[in-house]
Amino acid sequence: MEEKGTISIHTENIFPIIKKFLYSDHEIFLRELVSNAVDATQKAKSLSSISELKGDLGELKVTVKVDKEKKQIIISDNGIGMTAEEIKKYINQIAFSGATEFVERYKDSNADKSQIIGQFGLGFYSAFMVASTVEIDTLSHADGAEPAHWTCDGSTEFTITTGSRTERGTDVILNIAEDSEEFLEEARLQTILNKYCKFLPIPVEFNGEVINNPNPLWTKSPAELTDEDYKNFYKELYPFSEDPLFWIHLNVDYPFNLTGILYFPKVKNEFDFQKNKIQLYSRQVFITDEVKDVVPEFLMLLHGVLDSPDIPLNVSRSFLQADANVKKINTYITRKVADKLNEIYKKDRTAYEEKWNDIAVFVKYGMLSDDKFYEKAKDFALLQNTEGKYHTLEEYRALVQANQTDKDGNLVILYTTDPEKQHAFIETAQNRNYDVVKLDTMIDPHFIGQLEQKLEKTTLKRVDADTIDKLIQTDAKPESVLSEEETTRLKELFEKAIANQNMTVGVEALSVDDQPVIITLPEFMRRMKDMNRMGGGGMMMMGNMPDMYNVTINANHPINHRILKHNDERGEKIAKQAYDLALLSQNMLSGAALTAFVKRSVELIDKE
């Protein structure tokens, strides 16, 4: 038998368009052809299971071979095969018309082309991106079928002859084009197979070795898996990573189909976060690692795999965002993550607390970006205080309710962004039995804002935002021992000694045990500056504005009484010294001012 024919399609010369169009994605030809081969074996299996397959099913597998001499890549399977009629129908008509449709619909669009291909039956046609001619050598499973051989150079002309294959299945032979000889390199093929075919459901052999894991963990039932299994699979996905903190095995089949495993990675610091570490599969065929839109933004920091045949890959990004299934998947994943965290929190609070610092950024990011997640997470989000104890938001409010309120009756949560630098202030707060929480990560300025919005009658104040008795209203506030005249004189003396208009001097009655001079930066000022630094809108003028500090002179401190007594140059010198000490305790003294301070200190010691 020999038959020559013309494939009837409406557009002439679609091929050059496709080739150019998909230029950067030529490598996906291998994914398409290997997936077709896998599909053919799966069909054989289905037929066999209903006793519709003649002869033995045999051991199903797909083999990829390279023949460098002949410049061929051969993809073989022992699937259902095709008759000559089927080739004409499925390859000549469907595959080719799929390609035509593809070009017509997408030549002017910016859609992600590589994701569209499979959906249009361009799958097979993609062989022509790398091959000058393609041959199919096949024997159908059907009773009395004759082997068939098909050749085509990608144009609309094809030839079908009787083939020589004696066993059920198909060889697709690619005669690699001159400009695609890179694909004859074994290392290159290995890389491509690794990327797309690593978890295909039947063995794929290359160079005599099976390159895939046909039963990846996510396809198994969670009940039969151990922690070790999950950790090992994580290593398989990310060979050089530390063990993950924990994981979530997803498994839904209604109203959409989704399986997968999401891992919470262990990250050493906040700059370590890598997005695009989640791989998206469709029936175990790798599609992409850009899961934006499918996974909520705040969970992009997770690692792992998602597998869903229900995620439409044939549409543009904006369409994907609006897709009902994608939205449902998004909501589902968010809920699952929240439930899992809640479960760990409930089951073993100590273990959860140990992990808190590693997961805090996910949780906070989630609370900030998704209201539904906030509602769940507010029960298991923790605040850690400077003594290392953890409380939930409600527990913490209950803890400080009795003695931490401001003059308007709001509950005050004191926080530190740097326990080392703000040590003096933390100590002062602790001396009054107040509690201080640590909010020292990059996301915390936003988180603080959110807590103030969400928690009723609660404000958060950085521990060095003002003197402690101004931050928190107390009945035990000491009286000033100074007269009005002395107070004014002390203020003027310090103003003269400091001589800096960015420093607003005030005298306040504090405890004798507090520092003689305290420098604070008001909360609103710091927040404005923070916002400005983080690119918050509309605050441009803050960038050039110097910090306006408050300098509080402790009316009850003996040093300040001595300063008043020496109402002369000596008094001014001590005032300067006390002020410099306050600066020093906050790491704000440097350069010439630091040198002057050291000199003055030496003189003062000398006089002792």
Total residues at interface with ligand ADP (CB under 6 A): 19
Query: Per rule CB under 6 A, is residue 94 in the interface with ligand ADP?
Result: yes
Which span (35-43, 226-234, 324-332, 489-497) binds ligand ADP, by CB under 6 A?
35-43
Nearer to ligand ADP among residue 128 and residue 374 (C-beta) = 128
The reply on whether position 196 binds ligand ADP by CB under 6 A is: no
Q: Which of 176, 166, 108, 114 is nearest to 137 (CA)?
A: 166
Under rule CB under 6 A, residue 260 binds ligand ADP: no
Scanning 432-552, the segments in alpha helix (DSSP H) are 444-454, 468-471, 484-498, 523-533
Which amino acid is residue 106, in one-letter code? Y
Provide the β-strand partners of residue 249.
Answer: 261
Cα–Cα distance measured from residue 278 to residue 292, given in angstroms and rounded to the nearest whole number? 10
The residue (of 170 and 386) whose beta carbon lies closer to ligand ADP is: 170
For residue 518, the surrounding DSSP H or E stretch is strand 517-520
Q: Which is nearer to ligand ADP, 91 or 518 (CB)?
A: 91
Q: Which of 108, 126, 107 is nearest to 117 (CA)?
A: 126
8 A C-beta contact, residue 384 and residue 375 = no
Q: 99: Cβ–Cβ under 8 A, 6 or more apart, which residues?
A: 14, 15, 18, 120, 121, 122, 125
515 is in an annotated binding site: no
Out of 26, 61, 63, 77, the residue judged to bind ligand ADP by CB under 6 A: 77
Backbone dihedral region for residue 454 (phi beyond 0: left; psi -120 to 50: alpha; all else: beta): alpha
Whether 334 contacts 373, CB under 8 Å: yes
Is position 121 an interface residue for ligand ADP (rule: CB under 6 A)?
A: yes
Whether residue 12 is annotated as binding a ligand: the answer is no
Q: C-beta of 136: minimal distance to ligand ADP in Å?
A: 8
Site track for ligand ADP across 122-141, x = CB under 6 A? -xxx----------------
Please tell me whether residue 95 binds ligand ADP under the rule CB under 6 A: yes
274 labeled binding residue: no
* Binding residue (CB under 6 A) for ligand ADP from 14, 22, 30, 82: 82
Cα separation, 207 vs 186, in Å, equals 9
154 binds ligand ADP (CB under 6 A): no
Sheet holding 303-307, edge to edge: 246-252, 258-264, 303-307, 278-282, 285-288
- The residue written with tokens 């997408």 in the block is 106
Q: Is position 36 annotated in a ligand binding site?
A: yes
User: Is 447 annotated as belonging to a binding site?
Assistant: no
5 is in an annotated binding site: no
CB of 258 to ligand ADP, least distance (A): 21
For the chain, the straight-line distance linking the first and the last C-alpha, in angstroms and rounded, comes to 117
Q: Nearest distance from residue 340's CB to ligand ADP, in Å?
A: 36
Residues near 153 by beta carbon (within 8 Å), at least 6 away in sequence: 132, 133, 134
> Token pair of 419, please?
């326990």
Residue nearer to ligand ADP on the CB measure, 121 or 147: 121
Nearer to ligand ADP, 118 or 154 (CB): 118
Pick the piece of the chain touching ligand ADP (CB under 6 A) from 76-84, 232-240, 249-257, 419-427: 76-84
- The CB-of-38 to ligand ADP minimum distance in angstroms stands at 9
The single residue among 113, 118, 279, 552 that binds ligand ADP, judged by CB under 6 A, is 118
**Stretch 159-178: interaction string toward ligand ADP, x if CB under 6 A:** -----------x--------
| 216 interacts with ligand ADP by CB under 6 A | no
CB nearer ligand ADP, residue 91 or residue 519: 91
The CB-nearest residue to ligand ADP is 123
Instruction: Please report whether residue 287 would count as binding ligand ADP according to CB under 6 A.
Output: no
Piece in contact with ligand ADP (CB under 6 A), picked from 94-102, 154-162, 388-396, 569-577: 94-102
Picking from 140, 160, 150, the residue whose alpha carbon sits closest to that of residue 78 is 140
Residue window 534-573: x/- pattern of binding to ligand ADP, with contact defined by CB under 6 A: ----------------------------------------
CB closer to ligand ADP, 134 vs 361: 134
Q: Which of 25, 42, 58, 90 binds ligand ADP (CB under 6 A)?
A: 90
Amino acid at 130: V
What's the gap between Cα 325 and its chain centre? 21
> Is residue 165 within 8 Å of residue 139, measured between CB atoms?
yes
518: which strand partners? 552
Tell me: is residue 32 an annotated ligand-binding position: yes
Following DSSP, what letter does each residue of 362-393 receive, concatenated?
HHHHHHHH-HHHHHHHTTT-EEEETTS-EEEH
Q: How far is the CB of 233 from ligand ADP (least distance, A)?
A: 29
E strand or H helix at 64: strand 62-67
* 79 near ligand ADP, rule: CB under 6 A: yes
DSSP 358: H
Output the smallest distance, CB 36 to ligand ADP, in A.
3
Measured distance CA(134)–CA(27) in Å, rounded? 16
Question: Which whole-number Å values give the CA distances from 414 to 75, 429, 484, in the listed order?
Answer: 66, 9, 32
Cis peptide before 255 (omega within 30 of 0): yes
Stretch touching ligand ADP by CB under 6 A, among 48-56, 73-81, 154-162, 181-189? 73-81
Strands 62-67 and 72-77: antiparallel
Q: Measured from the CB of residue 32, what is the shortest distance to ligand ADP in angstroms? A: 6
Closer to ligand ADP by CB, 123 or 244: give it.
123
Report which secondary-structure segment, H or E, holds 77.
strand 72-77
Q: CA torsion, points 306, 312, 315, 319, in degrees to nearest 10?
A: -90
When binding is defined by CB under 6 A, the residue of 91, 127, 261, 295 that contacts ligand ADP is: 91
For ligand ADP, the closer of residues 111 and 142 by Cβ is 142
Q: Binding of ligand ADP at residue 37 (CB under 6 A)?
A: yes
Note the Cα 155 to chain centre separation in Å.
45
Q: Which residues bind ligand ADP (CB under 6 A)?
A: 32, 36-37, 40, 77, 79-80, 82, 90-91, 94-95, 98, 118, 121, 123-125, 170
Cite the annotated binding site by residue number.
Answer: 32, 36, 77, 82, 97-98, 119-124, 170, 317
Cite the annotated binding site for ATP by residue number.
Answer: 32, 36, 77, 82, 97-98, 119-124, 170, 317
